[in-house]
Every structure is written in structure tokens, then in C-alpha cells.
Structure 1
Amino acid sequence: MEDILDKKVVFDYFSGHTTPLQKKAVEAWLQDTANHEQYYQWLHEWELSHLQATASWQDAFNRTQERVNQEIPASSPFLSVSYNRSWWAFSNRNMVAAIVLVTLIGASLFGLKDRIFYKTIQVGYGQTEQVKLTDGSLVVLNANSSIRFPRFGFGDGTRTVELTGEADFQVQHSPKNQRFVVVTPKGLQVTVLGTQFTVFARQRRSQITLRTGKVALQMSQTPKAPSIIMKPGDLVTLDNSGKLTRAHTTNPEVQSAWKHQRITLERTSLKEIAAILQETYGFQVEIKEPELADRTATGSFPAHNADEVLEMITELFDINFTRQNNKIVFKD
């Protein structure tokens, strides 16, 4: 029966769309505790892609309260027993409070389960952090980034991590050729065996740069579509419209220059640099003149802190800036 069980079948099980035979196969599979971690990982992935199905406890509470507060007509032919209105209201208010309490406890337990089974590492503005996973893979997180992965059994049952922000990966080859998977918030999934690559997954776009090895890219929304197979030097970008484009770079290390506390520009516009300042240091950036935003520059410079980067920008673009708290204004 195990040959009919895969991720799609388990997703159908969560949605209530499995056949009786598939349902029996999933339940038999769950009898083995070794499968529980994979089950919770797939459950989390399914929940991320079905957020619209999440119930609102506040809406449910309001609807329940409306029903409880509705007055039952005294002349109702179905009522032959008298009741104390104040006791009824008090009793039902307690019932509503109990329902809300149980709902909140359930939500807390779900969050507790998440903290027990998964580990999240988050890096603040202006920082980087190196993380060595239990399978031997090395991850370097850029500023304002986070990675989430199973706390137990990583490298045995699964090698799936979730990335928000930017990270550089050096994936350790698995003796069993087990896939290493990076999932991004917009549904871009990077699957590898053993390789070195950089993933950029922020609000404005997602981008994968491959240095060595081979990776396959897949959108979780279209699991049956052919994967994009990347070769060393390939740079694939996913824009906000969902369009994937592939380019080639002779210097893929540029995309991970931040690991060495450097910033590398290749005909980079001031508008793009403003986005980097916001993502890396948490600045709010305003560019006074539209033509100034399109001005570009090329070069590689130290970037140990925000002040060093700002000084580099003013010299490189020959511009001035004012700074008030975390707001930066560039002007000629």
C-alpha cells in the first residue's frame, strides 16, 4: 500500500479528497512514529498554501455570540418549559467564554507544537550569521533574514528548509542521495543534491544564483510543470508577477559578496541600492530627484556597517544625504 503514498496523496488527505484506499494508506503510514516529522512538515507546507481556508476564531465568536443573544419568542409553539432569562444569558455567556478559551488553547498548542518540532534562526538588521545544519550543510544568513527547519531528524527523514530573506548555501552531499530543498515565501522551491548557491527571497523579487553543481527550480503552485534545471553561473529571477527569467553571469560570487562584508555593484541603480539599505539596515530611503534614482554605478567596496555604506554611496554617486533616525534622504 505504501507505493500509492506520496506528498500529493498526503496533501489530498489534508483537503479531504482522498479515496478510502488512500485514506487507509495514510493512516497506516502514520502508525510509524518515524513518519511523524515528515507528516508535520507536509502539514505546515499545506497550511502555508491554504491560508484562505484558515478559520477566524474572532468571526466564529461573533457569530456564536449573535446566536446566543437572539431572544427566543415567548409565543414559540415549540416551547413548553419556562426558563429564567438571566440564568440563560449567564449560562450561555459562560459557554461562549469556554468555546473561546478552548480555541485560544488550541492555537497556543499549535504554536507550541511548531516550536517543539521546528527551529527558527532569525538575523537582525546589519548582521550576518553562519549556521551549520546537522547534515553537515553550511548556511550563511544575510541581515534581516530567517531560516526554519525541523529540529529533530534533519538529514534522515527530511532536508527541507524554509527561507525568508537571503542566504548562501553549501549543501553537504547525502550518502543516500537525499534531496536538499529550500522553500521560499512566494512558492519557489529549490531542489539540490550537493552544491553551492545563493538564494534571495525578499518582497521585491526572488533570485537564485548557482555557483557549483546543479539545482532544479519548481513553483509549488504548478507542481506538474517541468522543473528549470540550473547550471553553474545561471541566475534565475522570479518577479512579483510570477514570471521566471534565466540569465548567465561569469561571476556568481558577486551575489554572495555580503558574506565577506562587501557590497558589489554592477551598473546598479541608486533605486536598487535604496532597496538594499532598507532590507539590510532597516532604513526608510527617499530619493528627491527621479533622474537620480536611475543613476548607476559599478565597483566593489567594504560594507562593515551602515555608515561605511552611506559614505561609499555619497562618494560613488557624488550626491549628498540627510539622516534623521532611520530615514535617509538622497539629493544632488
Structure 2
Amino acid sequence: MKKIIFSSGKAIRKCQTLYLEVDLLDMKFSDYKLKDFIQDESFKNWVNNTVPDDMLQWEMWLDNNPHKRPIANEAAAIIRGIAFKKKQVSRQKIDAGWQQVISKIAQSRDAEAIIPVKKDEWRAVWRMAAVWVGLLVVATASFYFYKSNSKLQYQTGFGETTTIILPDKSTVVLNGNSKLTLINNWSFNKDREVWLEGEAFFSVLKKPGQGNARFLVHTGDMDVKVLGTKFNVTNRKAKTRVVLNSGKVQLSAQTLAPGKSAIMQPGELAELRLDKKEFVKKKVNPLIYSSWIHKKLLFDDTSIRDIAALLEDNYGFQVKLNDPAIMDRKLTGEVYVEDVETLLKALSKSFQLDIAQTGNVLVIKGR
């Protein structure tokens, strides 16, 4: 569960403290190597999403030191991942095992009476052994085929976020009430593909090696083709949009005419409009749409209507606005994420609203 603190005097002092700590981190960790990141306890807390202060400090420090993010991502992948090696059985052990099997078959139940195995019987034994070896080979091949083609799924609950290190060391920050799916075994000779339901922020690295370097994000009705960039994708309530922070992406959709696509530039928001059968683009401040990955929300003339949608999509509330006059009332400000209760109190105070909560139902009225 993320936490939310409004920009009160206390919150400002906390933020100033965090920035001071980030300055100290600059001094302490500027010379960190891979093993230093792996051994640092606060860094492990950031990787495992366990200590909010450490998570926030490291995010702020990495934002100030983007050249360190690749090695930090590599360290995170090592901390989270476990490399499984295929264990090879030597031919000598296989032969010894078969000899034990054959010896047991050849032995009589009477330890003193040993029945010699005839030539035809030896052939039968080897035929049976061949059958078992064949079954073992098929089972092993089936296992690795299933493993290589199985899918990994990451899912967050309401109000929860998580950071995912992909096989190519790109990172995905998954917002609340969202799901990311990918093939278990990525090949660097093929496209890297993920499927998103909900909202996520992608930081994509250029694929190593030769060949096609495309990174594809599939939503329910749109595909995003990427080459080394940072962007936010939202796919909620039959509405899909992309906000590009840096780099370049190409958008396409099956519902549009063949070959019709959109190329995005940094600082643009593109929304798929099925009614117009096109992508509608506009210039925006991308930090507003990706601020949630740093545990804060930025509002820039944001309407209560949009905030109500955020409460429903990310936190699982059912919002009822009984006063239509307040739906377009707008807010500009910065909110630090701590918990939903604090968020509701802050919104109530800032908007001059009465917010009544019954279970997961919010009734919002103007004062």
C-alpha cells in the first residue's frame, strides 16, 4: 500500500530532509560498483519494496544519477533472480545405474541361487531400458518446452505498486490494480513482448546483440513499439493512452485502417479514440503522468472527475458524485503517497468537499 502525505509544512520538511539525504547519498554512493549495490541493505530494501524511506531515497538518487541506473538495475536483477543451471549427468553414472538395474533383475530372490540371464532375456532388458530412456527424453524435452513457452504474470492490488526487472534488464513499475504478462524465456533474436492491463511506467534498454531490437507493449486495443525509451501506458475502462517521457515510440491498433499508425515525440500524450478511429495527440508535462512511480501525485488543473476516476482505478473505490457542479472543479498541487485515508482527508480539505466512506463506496459532496 502506498502512502500519501499532502504538501503541508510537515510534509515539506520531510521532503527537504529526503533531498538532504539524497545529497548525502551522492557523496556516499557515487563510487559504488556492482558488488557494493548488492551488499547494501538500504538498496536491498529498494529492490524488495520493504522500507518506504529507503525506496524513496534510492528513487530520488537514481533520478539524480541516471548513469548509475543500468548498474543498479543489474544489481537488482541479481538480488531478485536465481540462475538455475541444467545439471548434466555423466555417461559413467548412467552406465553404472543401468548395471545396478540389470544386476537386480538378474538376481534371484534366493540370494544363494543366481539364475543366469539368457541372450534373449538380455535383449528384452535392453529393449525395456530403451523404452524408459525414450520416455525420459520425451518428458525432459516436454518440461523444457513448457518452461520456455510458459508465461510469467505480475499483478498488483488496489493502492499497491511494484518494480519488475525484465529479462533484458529493462524495468517496469506497475501501478495499482494492474497486471503485466510476458513469456518466461526471452530470446534476443526475437521481439521482446509484454501484455499490460492497467497502468505501468516502462524504462526500456536497447536490446544487446544483433537483430531486431523492438520492444512491444500490447494492450487490449493498441500496440506500442519501442526502441530505448521511457513512457507511461494506461489501459483502463476501454480507454488507452501513452505519455512519452523520452525516446521515440510508434503506436498501432487493429481497429484502425491497415498501415495507419502514430509516431510520438517526447512530451506528447496520445490517446486512442475509437469514435474518431485515430490517435489524438497533445503536448503535456510527462512528469505529471509518471509522478506516481516516485510515490507522489502531481495535479495541474486536474478535475474532481479525473481524481474520482483515479480513486476507482488505482484504489478500488466506487465514487458517487452527488453534486454535478463540483465535477469540473480543479486542483493544482503535489501529493505525497502514504495511505488512502490521508489522501481522502487532503482532498476533502483542499477541495472543500465532504467525503463520506462506507466500505469501498465514497460519496463526495460540495460544501
Give me the TM-score of the superposition, normalised by structure 1: 0.62
User: Aligned ranges for residues 273-288 of structure 1 at < 5 Å?
Assistant: 273-288=307-322
For 1:80-112, what per-residue CA distance to the aligned partner results, in whole angstroms no more than 9, with x for missing partners?
xxxxxxxxxxxxxxxxxxxxxxxxxxxxxxxxx
- Of the candidates 241, 248, 252, which is equivalent to residue 286 of structure 2? 252
> Which residues of 2 match residues 93-112 of structure 1 at below 5 A?
none
User: Aligned residue for 1:217?
Assistant: 251
TM-score normalised by L of structure 2: 0.57
The answer to which of 115-124 and 192-201 deviates more is: 115-124
Preserved contact between residue 262 and residue 279 of structure 2 (Cα < 8 Å): no
Per-residue Cα deviation, 1:156-181 (whole angstroms, up to 9, x for no partner): 43301110100000001013351000
Matches within 5 A, 1:161-176: 161-175=194-208, 176=210
Alignment of 1:2-41 (within 5 A): none
Could you report, residue by residue, the CA deviation over 1:184-209 in whole angstroms, capped at 9, with x for unpaired residues? Answer: 11x21100111111101111521101
Q: Which residue of 2 aligns with 1:5?
A: none
Q: Find the partner of 2:266 among 203, 207, 232.
A: 232
Provide the alpha-carbon RMSD of the alignment. Answer: 2.0
Matched, 1:142 2:175: yes
One of 154, 160, 164 as aligned partner of 1:121: 154
**Are the equivalent residues in 2 in contact too, given 1:302–1:308 (CA < 8 A)?**
no
Structure with the greater alpha carbon radius of gyration: 2
Q: Per-residue deviation at 1:128?
A: 0.2
Q: Residues 99-133 of structure 1, C-alpha deviation per residue, up to 9 Å, x if partnerless?
A: xxxxxxxxxxxxxx799611111111010000000
> Quick one: which amino acid aligns to residue 179 of structure 2?
S
Q: In the TM superposition, what are the counterparts of 1:35-114 in structure 2 within 5 Å? A: none
- What is the CA-CA distance between 1:292 and the residue it aligns to? 1.1
Q: How has the CA–CA distance of structure 1 residues 145 and 115 changed in structure 2, closer, same or farther, with 3 Å as cutoff?
A: farther
Structure 1 SS opposite 2:179: strand
Structure 1 residue ranges, 4+ long, deviating more than 6 angstroms after superposition: none
The question of whether the paired residues in 2 share the 8 Å contact of 1:134 and 1:154 is answered with no
Which of the residues 282, 285, 291 maps onto 2:325? 291
Higher relative contact order at CA 8 Å, sep ≥6: structure 1 or structure 2?
2
Conserved? CA contact 2:148–2:185, under 8 Å: no
- Residue 311 of structure 1: how far off its partner (Å): 1.3
1:179 paired with 2:214, answer yes
Please give the alpha-carbon distance, in whole angstroms, between the structure 2 residues aligned to 1:154 and 1:120.
Answer: 18
Letter aligned with residue 122 of structure 1: Q
Q: Which residue of 2 aligns with 1:262?
A: 296
Cα offset, 1:210, TM superposition: 0.7
Aligned counterparts of 1:267 and 1:150: Cα–Cα separation in 2: 40
SS at match of 2:338: coil
1:86 counterpart residue number: none
Residue 208 of structure 1 pairs with residue 242 of structure 2: yes
What is the deviation of 1:294?
Answer: 1.6
Contact conserved, 1:196 with 1:213, CA < 8 A, in 2? Answer: yes
Q: Relative to 1, partners in 2 of residues 1:303 and 1:240: Cα closer, same or farther, differing over 3 Å?
A: farther
1:125-155 CA distance string (max 9 Å, x none):
0100000000111000000000111011254
Aligned residues: 219
CA shift in 2, pair 1:204/1:309, >3 Å: farther
Task: State how far apart, in whole Å, the 2-side matches of 1:115 and 1:192 are.
Answer: 24
Distance 1:115 1:194 in 2: 25
Residue 124 of structure 1 aligns to a residue in which SS?
Answer: coil
Contact 1:134 1:155 (8 Å CA) reproduced = no
Q: 2:227 aligned to 188, 193, 207, which one?
A: 193
Percent identity of paired positions between Structure 1 and Structure 2: 33
Q: Establish whether residue 132 from structure 1 lines up as the match of residue 165 from structure 2.
A: yes
Deviation at 1:221, TM superposition (A): 3.2
Q: Distance in 2 between matches of 1:304 and 1:156?
A: 42
